[in-house]
Structure 1
């Protein structure tokens, strides 16, 4: 239960009342002439929203555990339901979700490009995309650069795509520089990026490279949908970041960027379920992952993952609710034609100037 729903009072003789912090140990009250009174600060019918008994640990089961709280028919009580999804069950769930999304989104007609990392999210996405799209309208790529994507990850992605019959390109750093029109090198670009934004911003650099690569390959392949494995907590983290900065959420699960679209077929699926589809691949991916990130990103993901931990499916309910509330008027991404990037409403002139200086040092734009 949330500790902020309760107030702790130390009641002494003659109705002498003091508040005490919720973290006070009971043995710290030894010798006190009085008692502790804990009172709920809201009129809350706990039996209607929480199971009557605490959920206890169980014996060993292999798979990912999911929980749900279900009200009784008359709404007077709540019951907890648990399930364990092994790899085949998780794969079926994700594949069905992706196929249903593809049928509604029209991606088969538009063609689809997606990046595959050899980890949990993109591997699970690959199976669903292959089941939901014609082979000739689906293309995958993996870029190799430091911890953005390791060679081992690219090897796993290659094996996966060969098994599924998906056309797959592995792009090495020198090939990536030529593909994106980098005038220096990817190493030089990253060194400059780290100097400007800090050495803990590798995730953001990787996102920039992957999106720019996807857009470039989509143009060459005649595709206009870019599929990303953004999961439930990814979008919750992004949504919370937007809201605390006074902005409406960005569009999801389909995000227009010019004539192209970023599509998010697994947006409703929790990260843990995606990992359950291929446990060995997801573990290897985590072992290779760069350990550094920014505090802001850490906080956003901590809060995003906290929502379903506080109450099962709360995060999904919020995503559904915000989509209904803001789906027709999301926060917009604006195309900056000079820099060939899409920027949010948070990109003021000072931020843009910093990014422009960086990009002009490593890319050729227009007649420059």
Structure 2
């Protein structure tokens, strides 16, 4: 007997084709895969009118991303009213508290929240002011109080949700993010991947892809390369991503004399990421705060490349069952330098390509994740 279809209205932040970021990526993939497990989806996000065209009307923009907040709130209330009348959702699903808060009064069915991270705390780490943080946390708390179930990407974030927002743990469920494992199956071997990207074929390559913001730990990673270079003289760190720290990181690279050993690549298109992961000897995730899951780590494993992670948030949960050696003992430049150097010099034996790929496919394939999400949705409707 098949599952009963569930009609959901999914309130997102932005559309992944227009805005990068882990939240938007998870939202995008869930809306692709949930219909395959009997979850009907309609979505509202901030973005352009072309989103409706791209999705056959399943996802619509309620306002441009850069519109004033009052316009975005008015837009989401308007579109919420239209969809509720026409589509009659059985469940409303929130992915971003800011765009769920203004429609709380319109929600007459159960609410499920996908908790992607503490919005207020993330803003504070990245330089947000005190008053703004208080307002953001109040918005979050109001939304989380209304939720019948809250889905966290990791045990670490489940604990944070309970401790910082006072959420009853009985309402919390853990479902990690996922990866489209099939997308990585045709990736060539390391030498060919490097050739296609124009990356050096005769140097040990370390890869990181991160937003260039404070909590990502890139300052530590660059500093670590001073020591790594002494032990592995021909090493090259390649960092993909863009963000407000670009000039600061560039200056740090130059001041440390790492111009031949660290390159900032800028934005890497999503379609090029499988090659980039595969071309590297190792991928590193050097986060220092508030990492709820670690999609980068999973994608790298799916491409067949082991990933070193700091012991922050949900990162250890992603990789430790594959190999405990993938989890560094601490954050900071010293731990990164020791781990990277030991790995490149053979002091740490890491999982091979096949083991990495099999682990990612068996544990994190989106079809498996979507099935688990369906179960939480069904539970919320009882």
Structure of greater Rg: 1
TM-score, structure 1 normalization: 0.30
